Amino acid sequence: MHHSFRTLALAALVFLASCVSAQKMPVDVDAETVAIKSVLSDQQDAWNRGDIPAFMEGYWQNADLRFASGGNITYGWQATLDRYLRSYDGASKMGTLSFSDLTVTLADQDDALVFGRWELQREADRPRGLFTLHFRKFGENWLIVSDHTSSGD
């Protein structure tokens, strides 16, 4: 009887410890939204300098990164970088990037979705469209783990 009480007490302690560790810290939604929008602002600035590798710093450097656009899906950070370098191999193709109508929705303290619009201003045209970005927080850094970008043209 004494042994089963100790077993029950130990099980209760393990259960309570798991409940406490599973609790999430309160989220400062405004601060996290600013941090996520800062990643996008840095990406926009890097693009407009013609610096695609710096633009890619906003993405998760992992083989599981997912980028969907133009009916194609690319997996992996390096493959996504290579795709950008192939598709935008000069200033005339890159143009000036702007993001607008950003909506940030925090699903958790380290998980968020961003909806928005993108536009490139180039001499020859103005392609534009929508995007949905899945951000995840790694330590103190928010990074894009999945990008679904569509073109309105």
- Six token digits for residue 71: 């009916």
Q: What distance in Å separates the CA atoms of residue 102 and residue 117, rounded to the nearest whole number?
A: 7
Which CATH fold would you assign to the domain 25-151? Nuclear Transport Factor 2; Chain: A, (3.10.450)
What SS3 state is found at 28?
coil
Contacts 24+ apart (CB under 8 A), 57-60: 58/143, 58/144, 59/143, 59/144, 59/147, 60/136, 60/138, 60/143, 60/144, 60/145
What is the pLDDT, as a whole number, of residue 115? 99
What is the pLDDT, as a whole number, of residue 26? 78
Low-confidence ranges of the chain (pLDDT < 50): 5, 7-22
What is the pLDDT, as a whole number, of residue 9? 44
What is the pLDDT, as a whole number, of residue 11? 46
Query: In the chain, what are the domain boundaries?
Result: 25-151
Angle at 117 between CA 34 and CA 127, to 5 degrees: 140
- Of 128, 108, 131, nearest to 58 by C-alpha is 131
What is the pLDDT, as a whole number, of residue 150? 97
What is the pLDDT, as a whole number, of residue 129? 97
What is the pLDDT, as a whole number, of residue 152? 85
What is the pLDDT, as a whole number, of residue 153? 66
